[in-house]
Chain A
Amino acid sequence: MSRRPVPAGAMRANHIWKRFRPDRKAKRLRTAMHYRKATQQGLRTKGRQWTWALRDIDFSVDPGESIALIGANGSGKSTMLKILSQVMYPHSGLMEVEGRVGALIEVAAGIHPQLSGRENVYIYGSLLGLSRKDVTRRFDDIIAFAGVEHAVDRLVKFYSSGMKMRIGFAIAAFLEPDILLVDEVLSVGDASFQRRCLERMSEVLAEGATLVYVSHDLATVEATCARAVWLDYGVMRADGPVRAVLTDYRQAIEERDKLELRADGDARIGEVVVCGPDGGPARTDEAFHVRLHVDAMAPMDATVFLGVSEGPSTPIFSVRHEVRLGDRRAIRCTIPSLPLPGGKYYVWAGIRGPRKDLLHWSPVANFEVVGPDLDPAPNGVVRMAPLYTRAAWDLE
């Protein structure tokens, strides 16, 4: 472990390890006695079970960098963030953090319901390390950012939950920290507040602060961060440019989520074949074919839905067609010009029966599109869906 002095805004995680004991019941006397008995009888082989939440996390961040922590639930992102913010201490390794750390986190806890918005701004500000003078200087900005100008002197318990959240977030947003930690907070506010938060994050970055962003919203991750670290069940899988890491991450999710063709109900979807022009791979802006076999128990009128999604989440677009289903029907759908950039996608299929009940609506196959990358969006702007469109440009 080298021990060079660290400039403000820098962070270095040196081989961080952290473990937890899930069975907190062992702390209780009754359980302790039970364990003792079990030990005496030779039933218990091992002591308390420790599980590693983080194993050998090692990376360093320079001042002014923007880095995202991504990973599935339970992969150790929040634990890492707690160690970063020095609330939790590692089991092994060393966390070096230099400079003032500001955290944009779910903060309802720090807001006292019995006090007015004004009082809360001051108290919460000092909790985050702002002096009274600093808060006074930024008070109007904070209140405007939170959008609670009309309710400053109202007790916070009469605020809506969105207002409460926004006021906590606004104080943290005006911390002027050296390091800004953002943990999955954007999901709480409404669209305009989310946009303000993203703008504020970009501003803080432009002022030279370091940004650490934890989110499941991969689109905002890509928009705000240049670099990403992917945690997978407590170990680092990748560290590098955000797009490359996200590609690896998405691929891993796809491999993990086995696509299943469900075989229940009155109709079921059998084999699904996806191809591009002339039976080759799918290509951007060229013809795209989906062929699926549908088995129905009895002949019926139904609507077949097809959709395409990027991750295994909501589809980007969908098409539908009304057909008469029978025994082993093959349905072929052609999209003359596929509006997708190069990448990996899922095909979704669904059938709505005569009683208007949806029989299946889930990813049934995955495919790869050969084609150009989507041009990157300007930073701070969230790309909504990967839709490719032709563009002609001229210079005059």
Chain B
Amino acid sequence: MTCRIFGLITLDVVDWRLSVGGPTVCGGDTVIEEFGARMPEQAVDNLGRPLAMHRYDAAAVPATPARELRYHHRFKLWRSLRELMHSGELIWSLTMRSFISSYKQEALGVGWAVIQPLLSMVVLLFLFHKVGKANTFGANAALFTYVGVLAWNFFSNNCDAGVGALIGNMTLLNKVHCPREVFPISSVAATGITTIIQSAVLVILFAIFRVMPSGTIVWAPILIVMMIFLTIGVSIMLSVLVVYFRDLRRIEPMVVQFGLFVTPVGFALNDPKFKIPHSWWGAISFINPMVPIIDGLRRCILFDQQPRWGLVGIGAISTAIYFFGGYILFKKIETGIADVA
């Protein structure tokens, strides 16, 4: 006897009865029910709920979206700052990644971090003090230049790194969601580590020239914090602008190189030889807050003087504009990064 279940599966009941040798039709029924229970398969999702099929007509979709559907990315400054605070660990990981990988596999390794500013110091010493006969107002010329180079290098290296911070990680940014400002910020932090190593050289230079840093050095941290915020602001602004305007990659190094000579890195702001009018100082400090920062650092580390607070104040206002402006600009236009790249 052959039994068809729902016309689909053919069960040879005769064979079955022979092999089992048990009761006749009743046993067969059991088997049939086993199959029957499973056959009319109702599609369910993972949670066991029935799943209905929906078909859509492609032609029914309008050509353009309704105006009220338009998506507006709402930017909330405090919320994004809070999100940034929570990514501390990520920033640290990325910082270590760029720091370790940048010196790994080089024969001199971290030694380059020390050699590079020393070489710039020698070049600037030659240019401004040997050839240009700049006035150091009694301070050791090497120390005088090195303080400037240290601060300027921090700023300029970060401008360079900021340009590459996003475009260098584009493939990653297009796949993984994280606060994107962690990339430029961690590159600032990596440069910061280098700068700390370079500061150790400053201590050694003090020892070599048998000079003690002056007591007003207690004011330096204020200037350093200001410099960090300025650098982060400029760096994140550059990093996002270069995504939309790639030419910036070529412009930025030229501007930074030019900046080395219009910022008092190798010379003093009040050097009579360079005749920078007093009335300009405020405006210069506003455009380039590195001017009062370097000038102030030098005054409080080498000259036992307080920073020029007026200029520092102007610089601080401008730093706040750079930082918040840069950050807001970044958050505003970062929404389109994935579309462009």
Contact = CB atoms under 8 A, between A and B. Distances in A.
B94 interface: yes
Contacts of A106: 175
Contacts of A52: 63-64
A2 B117 CA distance: 59
Interface centre among A94, A105, A392 (most CB of B within 10 A): A392
A127 B176 contact: yes
A396 interface: yes
A127 B244 CA distance: 24
A132 interface: yes
Interface string A72-93: 0000000000100111111111
B331 to A, nearest CB: 12
Nearest to A181: B175
A20 B65 contact: no
A163 interface: no
A24 interface: yes
Interface stretch (A38-46, A58-66, A189-197): A58-66
A46 to B, nearest CB: 14
Interface in B61-118: 61-66, 69-71, 73, 89-90, 92-94, 96-97, 100-101, 104-105
Interface stretch (A235-243, A262-270, A323-331, A353-361): A235-243
Size bin of chain B's contact surface = 35 or more
B101 A114 contact: yes
B9 interface: yes
A107 B101 contact: no
Nearest to B15: A392
Contact of B54 (A65, A85, A101, A238): A238
Contacts of B105: 114
Given A92-B70, A240-B43, A240-B53, A232 B58 contact: yes
A102 B19 CA distance: 53
Interface string B37-73: 0000101111100011111101001111110011101
A226 B175 contact: no
Given A65-B47, A88-B338, A226-B46, A392 B176 contact: no
Contact of A123 (B58, B63, B97, B178): B97
Contacts of A92: 65-66, 69-71
B257 interface: no
Contacts, number: 170
Contact of B71 (A94, A131, A205, A239): A94
Contacts of B65: 15, 17, 55-56, 91-93
Contacts of A17: 65, 69
B177 interface: yes
B50 to A, nearest CB: 9
A384 interface: no
Given A132-B89, A235-B61, A87 B174 contact: yes
A129 interface: yes
A109 B169 contact: yes
Contacts of B177: 85-87, 101
A126 B90 contact: yes
Contacts of B43: 226, 240-244
A115 B173 CA distance: 20
A301 to B, nearest CB: 43
A279 B20 CA distance: 40
B201 interface: no
Contacts of A372: 8-9
A245 interface: yes
B177 to A, nearest CB: 4
A298 interface: no
Contact of B175 (A55, A103, A237): A103
Interface in B1-54: 8-12, 15-16, 19-20, 27, 30-31, 34, 41, 43-47, 51-54
A394 interface: yes
B279 interface: no
Contact of A392 (B12, B62, B92): B12
B172 A110 contact: yes
A226 B51 contact: yes
A159 interface: no
Contact of B176 (A128, A244, A376): A128
10 contacts: A56-B61, A85-B177, A87-B174, A88-B339, A101-B177, A109-B169, A110-B176, A112-B97, A115-B97, A393-B34
Give me the 3 closest cross-chain CB pairs, A-B, nearest first: A241-B43, A240-B53, A109-B171
Given A56-B61, A89-B73, A129-B90, 8 more contacts: A52-B64, A82-B175, A87-B173, A115-B104, A126-B93, A227-B45, A233-B58, A394-B19
Interface of A: 15, 17, 20, 24, 27, 52, 55-56, 62, 64-66, 82, 85-94, 101, 103, 105-110, 112, 114-115, 119, 122-123, 126-129, 131-132, 205, 226-227, 232-233, 235-245, 248, 372-373, 376, 390-396
